[in-house]
Protein backbone atom coordinates (compact mmCIF):
# COMPACT_ATOMS: atom_id res chain seq x y z
CA UNK A 1 0.00 0.00 0.00
CA UNK A 2 2.80 2.35 0.95
CA UNK A 3 4.73 1.43 -2.17
CA UNK A 4 1.63 2.07 -4.29
CA UNK A 5 1.17 5.49 -2.69
CA UNK A 6 4.80 6.24 -3.47
CA UNK A 7 4.36 5.17 -7.08
CA UNK A 8 1.24 7.31 -7.48
CA UNK A 9 3.09 10.35 -6.14
CA UNK A 10 5.83 9.62 -8.70
CA UNK A 11 8.71 9.51 -6.29
CA UNK A 12 11.67 7.22 -6.80
CA UNK A 13 10.50 4.34 -4.61
CA UNK A 14 13.62 2.26 -5.08
CA UNK A 15 16.01 5.02 -4.06
CA UNK A 16 13.86 6.17 -1.17
CA UNK A 17 13.71 2.60 0.12
CA UNK A 18 17.47 2.16 -0.02
CA UNK A 19 18.07 5.51 1.62
CA UNK A 20 15.73 4.62 4.47
CA UNK A 21 17.25 1.17 4.87
CA UNK A 22 20.68 2.80 5.10
CA UNK A 23 19.49 4.96 7.98
CA UNK A 24 17.92 1.90 9.59
CA UNK A 25 21.25 0.11 9.46
CA UNK A 26 22.89 3.05 11.23
CA UNK A 27 20.25 2.88 13.92
CA UNK A 28 20.75 -0.83 14.46
CA UNK A 29 24.51 -0.40 14.81
CA UNK A 30 24.08 2.48 17.25
CA UNK A 31 21.82 0.53 19.62
CA UNK A 32 23.89 -2.67 19.61
CA UNK A 33 26.25 -1.69 22.49
CA UNK A 34 23.31 -0.66 24.69
CA UNK A 35 21.52 -3.93 23.99
CA UNK A 36 24.64 -5.93 24.82
CA UNK A 37 24.90 -4.14 28.16
CA UNK A 38 21.24 -4.73 28.91
CA UNK A 39 21.44 -8.44 28.10
CA UNK A 40 24.53 -8.66 30.28
CA UNK A 41 22.65 -7.08 33.15
CA UNK A 42 19.61 -9.32 32.73
CA UNK A 43 21.83 -12.41 32.45
CA UNK A 44 23.53 -11.66 35.76
CA UNK A 45 20.28 -10.71 37.47
CA UNK A 46 18.43 -13.86 36.47
CA UNK A 47 21.19 -16.40 36.96
CA UNK A 48 22.38 -15.14 40.35
CA UNK A 49 19.05 -15.81 42.00
CA UNK A 50 18.59 -12.10 42.73
CA UNK A 51 15.26 -12.14 40.89
CA UNK A 52 14.04 -15.02 43.09
CA UNK A 53 14.94 -13.10 46.23
CA UNK A 54 13.09 -10.05 44.98
CA UNK A 55 9.94 -12.00 44.19
CA UNK A 56 10.12 -13.61 47.63
CA UNK A 57 10.35 -10.16 49.20
CA UNK A 58 7.47 -8.83 47.11
CA UNK A 59 5.09 -11.66 48.03
CA UNK A 60 3.49 -10.06 51.13
CA UNK A 61 2.79 -6.81 49.25
CA UNK A 62 1.26 -8.69 46.34
CA UNK A 63 -1.13 -10.70 48.52
CA UNK A 64 -2.11 -7.46 50.22
CA UNK A 65 -3.48 -6.07 46.94
CA UNK A 66 -5.00 -9.39 45.92
CA UNK A 67 -2.49 -10.63 43.39
CA UNK A 68 -1.86 -14.38 43.32
CA UNK A 69 1.64 -15.49 44.38
CA UNK A 70 2.29 -17.23 41.09
CA UNK A 71 2.35 -14.02 39.05
CA UNK A 72 4.93 -12.18 41.19
CA UNK A 73 7.97 -13.27 39.18
CA UNK A 74 6.13 -11.93 36.13
CA UNK A 75 6.10 -8.46 37.68
CA UNK A 76 9.87 -8.56 37.97
CA UNK A 77 10.50 -10.22 34.61
CA UNK A 78 8.18 -8.05 32.56
CA UNK A 79 10.12 -4.75 32.56
CA UNK A 80 13.37 -6.58 31.78
CA UNK A 81 12.64 -9.22 29.18
CA UNK A 82 9.71 -9.73 26.84
CA UNK A 83 10.57 -13.30 25.85
CA UNK A 84 11.29 -14.19 29.47
CA UNK A 85 7.92 -12.84 30.57
CA UNK A 86 6.15 -14.71 27.76
CA UNK A 87 7.90 -17.96 28.70
CA UNK A 88 6.87 -17.49 32.32
CA UNK A 89 3.29 -16.74 31.25
CA UNK A 90 3.22 -20.08 29.44
CA UNK A 91 4.27 -21.95 32.57
CA UNK A 92 1.61 -20.11 34.61
CA UNK A 93 -1.01 -21.11 32.05
CA UNK A 94 0.14 -24.73 32.14
CA UNK A 95 0.05 -24.88 35.92
CA UNK A 96 -3.15 -22.97 36.63
CA UNK A 97 -5.16 -23.15 33.42
CA UNK A 98 -5.59 -20.37 30.90
CA UNK A 99 -9.09 -19.37 32.06
CA UNK A 100 -8.30 -19.46 35.79
CA UNK A 101 -8.05 -16.30 37.87
CA UNK A 102 -4.26 -16.56 37.98
CA UNK A 103 -4.04 -17.20 34.25
CA UNK A 104 -6.21 -14.19 33.46
CA UNK A 105 -4.33 -11.86 35.80
CA UNK A 106 -1.05 -12.92 34.21
CA UNK A 107 -2.46 -12.30 30.72
CA UNK A 108 -3.77 -8.84 31.61
CA UNK A 109 -0.44 -7.93 33.22
CA UNK A 110 1.38 -9.04 30.12
CA UNK A 111 -0.96 -7.24 27.75
CA UNK A 112 -1.01 -3.92 29.53
CA UNK A 113 2.68 -3.44 30.21
CA UNK A 114 5.78 -3.19 28.08
CA UNK A 115 9.43 -4.26 28.30
CA UNK A 116 10.34 -0.98 29.94
CA UNK A 117 14.09 -1.36 30.34
CA UNK A 118 14.49 -2.50 26.76
CA UNK A 119 12.48 0.41 25.36
CA UNK A 120 14.36 2.96 27.45
CA UNK A 121 17.72 1.48 26.44
CA UNK A 122 16.95 1.39 22.75
CA UNK A 123 15.67 4.96 22.51
CA UNK A 124 18.24 6.57 24.75
CA UNK A 125 21.01 4.42 23.33
CA UNK A 126 20.22 5.64 19.83
CA UNK A 127 20.03 9.29 20.91
CA UNK A 128 23.19 9.09 23.04
CA UNK A 129 21.39 10.14 26.21
CA UNK A 130 23.15 9.23 29.44
CA UNK A 131 21.31 11.23 32.07
CA UNK A 132 17.81 9.81 32.01
CA UNK A 133 16.49 11.85 34.97
CA UNK A 134 13.04 10.69 36.04
CA UNK A 135 12.38 8.35 33.07
CA UNK A 136 12.81 5.01 34.82
CA UNK A 137 10.92 5.83 38.05
CA UNK A 138 7.98 7.19 36.03
CA UNK A 139 7.96 4.25 33.63
CA UNK A 140 8.03 1.79 36.52
CA UNK A 141 5.20 3.66 38.23
CA UNK A 142 3.20 3.03 35.07
CA UNK A 143 4.06 -0.68 35.10
CA UNK A 144 3.25 -1.08 38.79
CA UNK A 145 -0.09 0.64 38.24
CA UNK A 146 -0.86 -1.83 35.46
CA UNK A 147 0.03 -4.80 37.68
CA UNK A 148 -2.09 -3.64 40.61
CA UNK A 149 -5.01 -2.76 38.33
CA UNK A 150 -4.75 -6.17 36.63
CA UNK A 151 -5.56 -7.99 39.86
CA UNK A 152 -8.45 -5.71 40.75
CA UNK A 153 -9.99 -5.59 37.27
CA UNK A 154 -9.89 -9.34 36.65
CA UNK A 155 -11.61 -9.79 40.01
CA UNK A 156 -14.32 -7.35 38.94
CA UNK A 157 -14.85 -8.70 35.44
CA UNK A 158 -14.69 -12.44 36.11
CA UNK A 159 -16.26 -13.35 39.41
Partner 1 sequence: MSKFFNVLILFSVITALMQQKAGAVTDAVLESGQRAIEFTLTMGAAIIIYSGLMNVANRAGLCNLLSKLLRPVLTKLFGPLDSGTMTDITMNIACNFLGLGNAATPYGINAVKSMASGDTATNAMILFVVINTSSIQFLPTTLAAVRRSAGSASPLDILPCIWICSILSLTAAVLSCKICERAEKYFAKLRITGIGSCDHSGRSNKADKRI
Nearest approach in angstroms of CB 64 to partner 1 is 19
- Closest CB 109 distance from partner 1, rounded Å: 8
Measure Cα distances from 137 to 116, 117, 143, 153 in Å: 11, 11, 10, 24
First-to-last alpha carbon distance for the chain, in angstroms, is 45
Q: Which is nearer to partner 1, 65 or 141 (CB)?
A: 141
Longest dimension (CA), the chain: 63
Q: Which is nearer to partner 1, 63 or 137 (CB)?
A: 137
Question: In terms of CB distance, is 58 or 119 closer to partner 1?
Answer: 119
Give every CB contact of residue 18 below 8 A, 6+ residues apart in sequence.
none
Question: Using CB atoms within 10 A of its CB, is residue 35 exposed (0-12), middle (13-18) or buried (19+)?
Answer: middle
Q: Smallest distance, Å, CB 60 to partner 1? A: 19
Give whichever of 64 and 131 is closer to partner 1, judged by the CB atom.
Answer: 131
Contact in structure between 140 and 79 (CB atoms under 8 Å) = yes
Q: How far is the CB of 73 from partner 1 (least distance, A)?
A: 15
Amino acid sequence: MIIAAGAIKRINVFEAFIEGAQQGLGTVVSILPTLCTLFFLIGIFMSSGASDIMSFAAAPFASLIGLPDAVIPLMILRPLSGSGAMAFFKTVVENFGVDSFTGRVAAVMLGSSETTMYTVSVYYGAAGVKKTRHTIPCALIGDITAFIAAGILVRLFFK
